[in-house]
Structure 1
Amino acid sequence: MSGSLQRLVATAQNGLEVIRFGGLVHEVESMPYEVAERKRMYRLRHYFPDDKTPGRPVALLVPPLMVNADIYDVNAEGGAVGILHRDGIDCWVVDFGSPDAEEGGWQRNLSDHVLAIDSAIDTVVEMTGRNVHLMGYSQGGMFAYQTTAYRYGKGVASITTFGSPVDLVAGLPLGLPGGGITGQAADFLADHVMPRLPISSSMVRLGFQLLDPVKTAKARLDFVRQLHDREALLPKERQRRFLQSDGWVGYSGPAVAELLKQFVAHNRMMSGGFVIRDQPVSLAEIRCPILAFVGELDDIGQPAAVRGIVRAAPNAEVHEASLMAGHFGLVAGSTATRLTWPLVRDWVRWIEDGQPLPEQIVPMQEHVASDRQLPLAIRAVHTGAAVAEAGVGLGASLAGMAGSTVRGTLELAGEAGRVLPRMTRLGMIAPHTRISLSRLMAEHGRRSPLGECILFDDRVHTNAAVNTRIDNVVRGLISVGVRPAARIGVLMETRPSALVTVAALSRIGAVAVLLPPSSELSEAARLTGIKTIVADPENMPAAAQTGARVLVLGGGDSRGLDLPLDGDVIDLEQIDPDAVRLPGWYRPDPGLARELAFVLVTGTGDKLDVKYITNHRWALSAFGTATAADLDHQDTVYCLAPLHHSSGLLVSLGGAVAGGSRIALARSLDPAEFAEEVYRYGVTVVTYTWTMMRDILDADVFPAGRPHPIRLFIGSGMPAGLWRRTLEQFAPARVLEFYASIEGDVVLANVAGMKIGCKGRPVPGTAKVELVSYDPETDEIRTDARGFARRTADNEVGLLIGRAAENVDLSAGGLRGVFAPGDAWLPTENLFRRDADGDLWLMDRRDTVVHTARGPVYTQPIVDALNEVTAVDMEVAFGMQVGDRVLAVGVVSVRDGYQLTPQDVTEGLRGLEPGQRPDLVYVVPEIPRSSTYRPSVRAVQAEIVPEPADNVWRYNRVSGAYEPLTPESALILFS
């Protein structure tokens, strides 16, 4: 009776104390610290400030949002700062405070926190004279990665993280499914819900408790059962109060929105290209050593997500320490006291003094999912032992089971949700439908004004900013007399102002004539009939020489201050858009599908040609590209192709705008810049033309096997051998090769990418195509007995034609009555063959077929076969007139460090029929290329002479081999 009474009295006394003070009054105090710096975003704590021991390593610890900075001192002597200080490490802690108690706290975003840590690092480095070992728990570790990358590693000796996810899609907290739900639900919440919904500290506390209500109830029941035993409860009292009330802080809505948008919906910790104050950043900038603690029982910072750092930071030496602990147990509790912080001490000593690493710290390998699950008993034991842990038990297990069963379905639904609306919209476009480049960009601006649109020169431009710039340029153009339907030349380097100019002309309803920089600019201006050219400062002198009026726009920091401005040269940047009164006729984005939108100038010399692109044709390629490449808001499209090339205008710009992707513009093809910007911008898709990738591969800026974010290369004209090299170097990325007729609606794509060199099949929603039998000698379509065109058999070379739209004028070369009376078709300029699987292979242009005495020889198979020879750098093929004969000629240049022999050429061309092999193969030092990186046949033809030489090999049709061209064999061949 006496014992029971004493127990009851003790329970009552202790319970009253808990009710009055929120917990048991105890003598355990936090470790001593002073606030060394106080700023709007944070307070910088310096622990044990009286310890002046010189030369100590310095640790700067960062807490996560939702948990206050006391997390590193919750266990007092057994906490992080106490243990590290005893081991000779100078400890500093960033304290963000609570948003409900800080000025502007509920408006904070993630960038504010990164910049706060950036400032704190500068302060600690200045005050101590030493680089810091940056350490972060959970999201604090994410901040540590992001800040180090943002400052390019300056002042950071190493990074240590605890349960900090990087590849969020690979391991979402609580087993939530990725795929479609991350992209769609996260974006919706980020754009429309979270910015208006701050999460209070009580909501945070309740949320974590509801993650596992059974554990929460059990912890409280155990506390009540032990309430009589004060001595047993006091050692854990500070930790209990931390978890049940004191340790939680609010989470501002903008910070949640940015977390969802950048790191859940877009997973940009992995791909790179996350944005800190308009600056794109990649974890590839991290070069200091990294130690990541992985909790095997962690259901929040899941092992797969944590180990993503080894791919996201390919330039860093990454280690891991894997512990049998949950999320909270990694930094607080008995496991942290016994293992975590002593291992951190050893890590710091390894870096500072070269002492050996403990066996628990090992180089990190990429995460491999295991079918082996920890026995339920082990998980139960550890879960029960870590009652204070903020992990999840049964709830997480159920969520994981549900996630694994629906993840595939959601991903499939997400893909369908992207593709179907595009195809539906494309199918609904009629001649009178309003559709244009500027209209789509305006839609993005209304839907997501803060969404990222253009990345250029390490700066990010939002949809709102880009549309504002477009509208300002529109006012400038209108003020100088630009009206709808006017043809206006655009002569600009690839830069945001070039894209804005094209979009501004589209917004007015004018026609952008995209001019390539060349010596034939005046002739291009004459052919297109333009009287006005918009140019950047670099191209202004060339534009002025055409005699056209020149409007100068853009230039940025490189803008010249002494532009020779007169009546024919107007600086649009000097026009105040607010002072321009818009005329009554102006209606933004008036372009109809049937109306002309762009004019492209292709070819050179006497083959200079003009191509006309309607809004419908542009939309066809734009939506077709976005569909075939599966582009969406998670992608960043790196535009290597210039905007004046069809690939740049239709594929790069069109596909990105139609897919809602970010557009990263490259000033020029610079392999070193390419290597840096791919990571910094988080490039997932690279667009190319012709041999662009050759320069990047030859520069060896991407060692094979190195992790990178690129998933796809899209473009046209890539030679087969270069295609293969690209796949090998950038595995597992794919190549998506397009073919598009400029003026018709034919668009082909090799979506699977399995057949290297193949152009694939028609993109859904584009024109139906047919391959008709064709006589290259007479340039006529072969017909059957009824006079209709004859379709080709498998592997027969034929002319590619596409069904004409209803509003197309056929008088300029169209066809009627091809397969049925009255049907309408547009012929392309190219010859193809269709293989047994139904895939199309380009054989030649109609006007470049080589007409030899033995019959027509097609040049594209020769080019592809030669490019597959390892030693060959570039190649062209053409016909050469020698006397009264025409010979098929192949010309190659050799890669640096390689040698090419006639035997190599013989083997390389063995796959062609003997009659399709070139009569001669020339080896030249270099093959010139055009501004679009297409090997120049005309330039090579001008240098080739039909004479015997060491670099000329002829095809011996008796032996089937190539051999040096001797005077004797030349006499026979040329006679």
Structure 2
Amino acid sequence: MKFSAQGVVGSVRRLMSTAQNGLEVVRFGGLTQDVESSPFEVAERRRVYRLRHYFPERAVPGSPVALLLPPLMVNADIWDVNAEGGAVGILTKGGIDCWVVDFGSPATEEGGWERDLADHVLAVHSAIDTVTEATGSDVHLMGYSQGGMFAYQAAAYRAGKGVASIVTFGSPVDIVAGIPFGLPYGMVSEVADFVADHVVNRLPITDSMVRIGFQLLDPVKTAKSRIDFLRQLHDREALLPKERQRRFLNSEGWVGYSGPAAADLLKQFVVHNRMMLGGFVIRDHPVSLADLTCPILAFVGEVDDIGQPAAVRGIVRAAPNAEVYESTLVAGHFGLVAGSAATRQTWPLVREWVDWMNGEVELPGEIVPMSEHVPSNRPRSAITRVAHTAATMAEAGTGVGKILETLANNTVRSSRELAGEAARALPRLTRLGMIQPHTRISLGRLLAEQARRAPRKDLFLFDDRVHTNAAVNIRIDNVVRGLISVGIRPAMRVGVVMETRPSALATVAALSRLGAVAVLLAPGGELRSALEQTGVDTIVADPENLRSATASGARVLVLGGGDARRLDIPLSDKVIDLERIDPTDVRLPAWYRPDPGLARELAFVLVTGVGNRLEIKYITNHRWALSAFGTATSADLDNKDTVYCLAPLHHSSGLLVSLGGAIAGGSRIALARSLDPARFAEEVHRYGVTVVTYTWTMLRDILDAEPFRNGHRYPIRLFIGSGMPVGLWRRTVEQFAPARVLEFYASIEGDVVLANVTGAKPGAKGRPVPGTARVELVAYDPMTARVEVDESGFARRCADNEVGLLLGKATESIDISAGGMRGVFAAGDSWMPTENLFRRDSDGDYWLVDRKDTAIRTARGPVYGGPIIDCLNDIAAVDMEVAYGLEFGDRRIAVGAVSVRAGFELDPGDVTEALRALDPDKRPDLVHVVDDIPRSASYRPSVRAVRAAGDPKPGPNTWWYHRESDTYEVLTDAAAREVYGLP
């Protein structure tokens, strides 16, 4: 066998070069090189960051300015890894003045391990101010990975001030749409929630942990790069151009991650997905990307498994008020900003983007408007990804690939969601089932439990401020001390007359914690009559309602008002300012026990109506808890939800559904000052509202205003409330699709709670909520106001679609002496009748048809207002409507009154077609058009106001039902005499 001397020499040289280079790598961590870092000066030093100014000697006044932001896990040298071929090198050559935020390493910075997410966002906010002041120009804010998230967040926090544009690289926004490696969001969310609460807040994430974690995200590429390095270790000239990048990735480029910042990231943007939904919190300030208005360019890596394309493209939906563009590259996460692809494509495109923003060039063809409907990967991306991965595996010499790119399909995802709903519902229903008359349960108690369990968690939002469980609990305890100091004791009835505000919530909760009874009174109501009928002699009022409260003659305690509070009434023995009482000076009496309320005890009194028509509703702690847990279960509320409380707290929907459901579900509560469509649209985005509560026709004002124009997206998934007419229901689901409506019915008299959970039947009240009272429908004659019985003497159950009286099974906590019934279906059984008449369809869903006392008793039998209202409201031209009875001598007729929507016309033919759904005997005798239908404080159309405006008169806007023609026709004088029974 012959050997080539030249080959032997070459092999020996190669071996010696390999050994020499390997020894250098072992001793110094890499090969020595002549490439120097780009020059910079530190223009500013702050506690959380240093601000680098690159090539300061080349800065030209008036030139475009870029402020670059690294992610927390990577040091600021990421922008200079390739020196002249890197970000700052290429951009500076293009005439752009480059500044870089350097967060440093938490391991070496003072207090570094205690930094939270807000520290870094506010650092960017501060750096923008510094750069704009130094240069006199707005900045192009550029961020890689989480640095891009910081760019979005900081720009939104400052409402775009000083930001010319935002450029991001692999920065995820919609976490749900782009979980890395296709993992199911439900599983990732649960793990992230646990890790945020129990791991990262106790365990520092060091630079080595970050490096290993990043490498494990793509082990094939990591292995390939190491194999390539070993194969070329003999060839120093081939390795040197990539040595700086290799050392950056292998060791020098990684920094630790502080636990609080990691917990915030997981909580706000993984568990709650608030980059997408809005409502993320920066130092008690809620922020939404919907506040962004500057142009945005997002670079998308087609083979990026960290910043998944679908997650990155979420920005086009999250920022509906901004022009959003994208540039898609065949690159991984790191390759978007460093390496040959970034040198060739990314940074030249960024330079052209800035030039285009300045009006100097045309927009490059590689930059296109981002489309909301782009799939998670473009059609060619799947092939590109396979080819890219296959090439990587082949070069690395391995035959093992990623067999499963997606671990769960939609069916599995749906199953997990259903399982999650069941898991959330079970403990709520279990707790409901365990409540006995002597069980301690109350609003104050549930709030105290939340404060102990999650003190830092957000509880409610109001006027762009976020209040945590702990802060609210302290405020409640302070108000309790103030109430005790002025003589309030358990079981006392105390009036509350306040606008929707934090102090109103604190007052109601403080009375609950004290064991007193909160009598909730509507501002502007007739207080004197309400106080007499409820036995109240002390009122808690805010400054706005102080004058009317003192006019009632009661003792008034003033609370709230904020920085702008001003009292128009002088203080006295009967007007006491609770805000002037120092809670630390109040000694708690021996009798005080926090949250003593038992389930059977009275908790709230709701007063509605006016004058001598006041309606007083008594709510026990059990009744409140029933609605709270029932709402949370039916609406599947959890800690990812933000419930927007449009209904005032003095209304049953505000107290029982909004406040109760949110607290029982662990959701955030957003309090609305009033029904203002413009403010509604702003706060829905800024707070990340997922659930909106309503009463009656409240949503009509919002729908008419069309607050989300031009197809802008919103995070709302559900509207919950009671009393919404059918037509308004249909308009709501059409305008807010895919959000749905969840309509409730809750009796005050017993424990009956119905819910139309699916929303498939607009107008239906649904079925009994699990854990609430069993219901029955008994035959009832409105003409005689008596329950019908069978031959045995027991009440007769209604057949399907027969109108009857709704009963709820009475529990031990219900006093049936206050209107209950015994021996209804069996000897000794006990039931509590509601005040309402229902029908039950063949599917088991219940439909409200009228109240017992408002059913119209005509000569042809009872006529029910509910079906008439639903039919009329389903006419597109009808704005609002009421149904009522009119008496003329001994004759009583049924009347429908309607108002017409602006820009629409209504004719008798529309009314005829709409009312064909009803039996002729159940149709109104007259339908007339009125200019306006006033509404009550709860947005319920007022029959009383319509009747006070006068009876229907013959003319073109009044139509009568002509039985022979089966149509509605214009009411003439002759027809009026026939209808009214006049000679």
Report if TM-score (shorter chain) is over 0.5.
yes
Structure 1 pair 589–487 and aligned structure 2 pair: CA distance change class (3 A): same
Instruction: For 2:549 and 2:971, locate their aligned partners in 1 and report how far apart those are by CA, in whole Å.
Output: 47
Q: Look up the match of 2:4.
A: none
Contact 1:715 1:736 in 2 (8 A): yes
Instruction: For 2:567 and 2:23, locate their aligned partners in 1 and report how far apart those are by CA, in whole Å.
Output: 78
Contact 2:456 2:470 in 1 (8 A): yes
Instruction: For 2:291 and 2:659, locate their aligned partners in 1 and report how far apart those are by CA, in whole Å.
Output: 28
Q: Does 1:255 align with 2:261?
A: yes
Residues 709-749 of structure 1: CA distance to partner in whole angstroms, max 9, x if unpaired?
00000000011111111111111000000001013100000
Residues 580-611 of structure 1: CA distance to partner in whole angstroms, max 9, x if unpaired?
11111111111111111111112233321211
Instruction: For 2:162 and 2:400, locate their aligned partners in 1 and report how far apart those are by CA, in whole Å.
Output: 43
Q: Does 1:628 align with 2:634?
A: yes
Q: Which amino acid aligns with 2:214?
A: F
| Count of matched residue pairs | 970
Q: Look up the match of 1:335.
A: 341
Contact 1:704 1:729 in 2 (8 A): no
Q: Look up the match of 2:175.
A: 168
Instruction: For 1:492 and 1:895, locate their aligned partners in 2 and report how far apart those are by CA, in whole Å.
Output: 33
Deviation at 1:181, TM superposition (A): 4.2
Q: Does 1:282 align with 2:288?
A: yes
Instruction: For 1:433 and 1:198, locate their aligned partners in 2 and report how far apart those are by CA, in whole Å.
Output: 43
Structure 1 pair 155–393 and aligned structure 2 pair: CA distance change class (3 A): farther
Contact 1:176 1:403 in 2 (8 A): no
Q: Look up the match of 1:879.
A: 885
Deviation at 1:31, TM superposition (A): 1.5
Q: Look up the match of 2:523.
A: 517
Instruction: For 1:557 and 1:667, locate their aligned partners in 2 and report how far apart those are by CA, in whole Å.
Output: 17
Contact 2:605 2:617 in 1 (8 A): yes
Q: Look up the match of 1:783.
A: 789
Q: Which amino acid aligns with 2:245?
A: Q
Contact 1:33 1:47 in 2 (8 A): yes
Q: Which one of the candidate residues 70, 77, 80 is aligned to 1:70?
A: 77
Contact 1:596 1:612 in 2 (8 A): yes
Q: Which amino acid aligns with 1:155?
A: G
Contact 1:288 1:316 in 2 (8 A): yes
Q: Look up the match of 1:35.
A: 42
Q: Look up the match of 1:109.
A: 116
Within 5 A, what are the aligned runs for 1:206-225? 206-225=212-231
Q: Which one of the candidate residues 596, 615, 638 is aligned to 2:621?
A: 615
Q: Look up the match of 1:305.
A: 311
Per the normalisation by structure 1, the TM-score is 0.97
Structure 1 pair 482–198 and aligned structure 2 pair: CA distance change class (3 A): same
Instruction: For 1:469 and 1:158, locate their aligned partners in 2 and report how far apart those are by CA, in whole Å.
Output: 42
Within 5 A, what are the aligned runs for 1:31-430? 31-182=38-189, 184-353=190-359, 355-366=361-372, 367-369=374-376, 373-374=382-383, 378-380=387-389, 383=392, 398=404, 400-401=406-407, 407-430=413-436
Instruction: For 1:216 and 1:3, locate their aligned partners in 2 and report how far apart those are by CA, in whole Å.
Output: 30
Instruction: For 2:110 and 2:792, locate their aligned partners in 1 and report how far apart those are by CA, in whole Å.
Output: 85
Structure 1 pair 386–328 and aligned structure 2 pair: CA distance change class (3 A): farther
Q: Secondary structure at the match of 1:847?
A: coil
Q: Secondary structure at the match of 2:177?
A: coil
Q: Secondary structure at the match of 1:483?
A: coil
Instruction: For 1:890 and 1:794, locate their aligned partners in 2 and report how far apart those are by CA, in whole Å.
Output: 27
Q: Does 1:960 align with 2:966?
A: yes
Q: Which one of the candidate residues 433, 442, 453 is aligned to 2:459?
A: 453
Deviation at 1:98, TM superposition (A): 0.8
Contact 2:599 2:813 in 1 (8 A): no
Residues 400-444 of structure 1: CA distance to partner in whole angstroms, max 9, x if unpaired?
436889645543332222111111111111111111111111111
Deviation at 1:370, TM superposition (A): 6.1
Kindly report the root-mean-square deviation, in angstroms, between the aligned alpha carbons of the 2 structures. 1.9
Instruction: For 2:831 and 2:755, locate their aligned partners in 1 and report how far apart those are by CA, in whole Å.
Output: 20
Q: Secondary structure at the match of 1:50?
A: helix
Instruction: For 1:395 and 1:212, locate their aligned partners in 2 and report how far apart those are by CA, in whole Å.
Output: 11
Q: Secondary structure at the match of 2:732?
A: helix
Contact 2:782 2:862 in 1 (8 A): yes
Deviation at 1:914, TM superposition (A): 1.4
Instruction: For 2:963 and 2:417, locate their aligned partners in 1 and report how far apart those are by CA, in whole Å.
Output: 56
Q: Look up the match of 2:5.
A: none
Residues 202-224 of structure 1: CA distance to partner in whole angstroms, max 9, x if unpaired?
11112222334454344223322
Residues 908-958 of structure 1: CA distance to partner in whole angstroms, max 9, x if unpaired?
222121111111112111111111111111111111224323432222222
Q: Which amino acid aligns with 2:38?
A: M
Contact 1:882 1:946 in 2 (8 A): no
Within 5 A, what are the aligned runs for 1:732-743? 732-743=738-749
Structure 1 pair 384–94 and aligned structure 2 pair: CA distance change class (3 A): farther
Q: Which one of the candidate residues 471, 478, 493 is aligned to 1:487?
A: 493
Q: Which amino acid aligns with 1:6?
A: R
Q: Which amino acid aligns with 2:48?
A: M
Residue range with higher mean Cα deviation, 189-198 or 158-167: 189-198
Q: Which one of the candidate residues 922, 925, 928 is aligned to 2:934?
A: 928
Instruction: For 1:371 and 1:117, locate their aligned partners in 2 and report how far apart those are by CA, in whole Å.
Output: 33
Contact 1:172 1:178 in 2 (8 A): yes
Q: Which amino acid aligns with 1:417?
A: A
Instruction: For 1:478 and 1:539, locate their aligned partners in 2 and report how far apart those are by CA, in whole Å.
Output: 22
Q: Does 1:644 align with 2:647?
A: no
Q: Secondary structure at the match of 1:161?
A: strand
Contact 2:511 2:518 in 1 (8 A): yes
Structure 1 pair 480–506 and aligned structure 2 pair: CA distance change class (3 A): same
Q: Does 1:19 align with 2:30?
A: no
Instruction: For 1:276 and 1:196, locate their aligned partners in 2 and report how far apart those are by CA, in whole Å.
Output: 22
Contact 1:795 1:836 in 2 (8 A): yes
Instruction: For 1:956 and 1:315, locate their aligned partners in 2 and report how far apart those are by CA, in whole Å.
Output: 54
Instruction: For 1:56 and 1:413, locate their aligned partners in 2 and report how far apart those are by CA, in whole Å.
Output: 57
Contact 1:181 1:414 in 2 (8 A): no
Instruction: For 2:635 and 2:885, locate their aligned partners in 1 and report how far apart those are by CA, in whole Å.
Output: 36
Contact 1:181 1:410 in 2 (8 A): no
Instruction: For 2:246 and 2:569, locate their aligned partners in 1 and report how far apart those are by CA, in whole Å.
Output: 71
Q: Secondary structure at the match of 1:695?
A: helix
Q: Which amino acid aligns with 2:818?
A: A
Contact 2:678 2:707 in 1 (8 A): yes
Q: Look up the match of 2:697.
A: 691
Q: Secondary structure at the match of 1:597?
A: strand
Instruction: For 1:565 and 1:288, locate their aligned partners in 2 and report how far apart those are by CA, in whole Å.
Output: 51
Residue range with higher mean Cα deviation, 465-474 or 97-106: 97-106
Q: Look up the match of 1:706.
A: 712
Deviation at 1:671, TM superposition (A): 0.7
Instruction: For 2:107 and 2:955, locate their aligned partners in 1 and report how far apart those are by CA, in whole Å.
Output: 84
Q: Which amino acid aligns with 1:75?
A: N
Instruction: For 1:371 and 1:365, locate their aligned partners in 2 and report how far apart those are by CA, in whole Å.
Output: 12
Structure 1 pair 853–480 and aligned structure 2 pair: CA distance change class (3 A): same
Per the normalisation by structure 2, the TM-score is 0.96
Residues 657-710 of structure 1: CA distance to partner in whole angstroms, max 9, x if unpaired?
000000000011111100100000000000000111011111121227321000
Structure 1 pair 750–665 and aligned structure 2 pair: CA distance change class (3 A): same
Q: Look up the match of 1:752.
A: 758
Q: Which one of the candidate residues 810, 832, 839 is aligned to 1:833?
A: 839
Gaps of 5+ in 1: none
Q: Which amino acid aligns with 1:969?
A: A
Contact 2:224 2:395 in 1 (8 A): no
Instruction: For 1:377 and 1:814, locate their aligned partners in 2 and report how far apart those are by CA, in whole Å.
Output: 71
Contact 2:393 2:400 in 1 (8 A): no
Q: Does 1:724 align with 2:724?
A: no
Q: Secondary structure at the match of 1:739?
A: strand
Q: Look up the match of 1:526.
A: 532
State the identity %: 72
Residue range with higher mean Cα deviation, 617-626 or 593-602: 593-602
